[in-house]
Amino acid sequence: MTPQVGAMLASLYERERQPGWSSGMRAVTRALLADLALPPGPLLELGCGGGAMLAELAATFPDRPVYGLDLWELALRQARRGLSTGDSALVQGDLQRLPFPAQHFALVLALDAFDQRGVDFVTGIRESWRILQVGGMLVMRVSAHPWLYSAHDVAFNTGARYSATTVRQALEDAGLEVIRLTYANFLWFVPVAVLRLLQRWGILPFRADWYQSARLQRAMAGALTREAAWLARRNLPIGLSLYALARKRPAHRREGCG
């Protein structure tokens, strides 16, 4: 992790519980998780960051063990400060080599984890499949649209952005049935896309201080909260982020006698 990336992520973790992009995206995630049928068993968040979503999982499913995994001690330190005792178990580890047994979890949540620099996208999905119970759900979010890759992604350690076609194919190849595939962060798509492209073309510089604006963060939270209400019922056709909900299918059985 470079010093710039470390500073940006530390700032993001510290602001997770304040009104802003993080709180708005958690509202979106809650809307997508609502009424999701899960088998009995524990829950896991990959790339749990500062622990804000992990705390919400623990509060929503108080009778289930909840685990959080992150590669960075920086994230886990922040998560420990924000979680109450008994909320969850925190583990430092690599999502490409998960330290959990096969068919253990009812839910694997991976928000902006599989698109990080140094992560092999397909390996992350296949490891999630390995530790999921049959009927368990993988709920993932990645940065959308490869053509939007810019200095913003570099600053936040994003290694790649993905298309819906690529995500669907990777999930199906791993043995997961795609239940839902939708974009999010729709209302800000046009202005942010223009900004990112101008940065990519070198016309505008990347400025970390833009992310510190309380007014901007509140506006983003408001837009995303409205989107969450929409996503509780239907999908969005475009956006800066892409969500997928996929269920682990039973293993294929050969027919006939051996």
Q: Are 28 and 228 in contact (CB under 8 A)?
A: yes
- How far, in Å, are 21, 126, 163 from residue 241 at the CA level? 12, 21, 10
Contact 116, 69 (CB under 8 A): no
pLDDT digits (tens, 9 = 90+) for 69-79: 999 888 898 88
Q: What is the pLDDT of residues 123-149, one digit of tens each?
A: 999 999 999 999 999 999 999 999 999
Nearest by Cα to 136 from 62, 61, 39: 39
SS3 state at 223: helix
Residue 71 per-residue DSSP state: S
Q: Residue 91 and residue 104: Cα distance in Å, rounded? A: 15
Domain membership of residue 119 (yes or no) is yes
Amino acid 258: pLDDT: 39
Residue 253 has pLDDT above 50, yes or no: no
Q: Which amino acid is at 121?
A: F
Domain contains 67: yes
Full residue range of the structural domain in which residue 137 is found: 3-248
Rounded to whole angstroms, the Cα distance separating 112 from 138 reads 13
First vs last C-alpha separation in the chain: 52
Q: Does 257 map to a domain?
A: no
Query: pLDDT by residue (tens digit) across 27-70?
Result: 999 999 998 999 999 999 999 988 999 999 999 999 999 999 99
Is 96 within a domain?
Answer: yes
Residue 30 within any structural domain of the chain: yes
User: Token pair for residue 246?
Assistant: 């996929």
Residue 85 lies inside a defined structural domain of this protein:
yes
In a domain, residue 256? The reply is: no
The domain that holds 187 is classified in CATH as: 3.40.50.150
β pairing state of 66-70 and 89-92: parallel
Structural domains counted in the chain: 1
Token readout for 141 is 């979010």
Whether 240 is in a domain gets the answer yes
Is the pLDDT assigned to residue 252 strictly greater than 70? no
Q: Look at 139-148, 197-206, 247-256 and tell me which has the smallest mean pLDDT.
A: 247-256
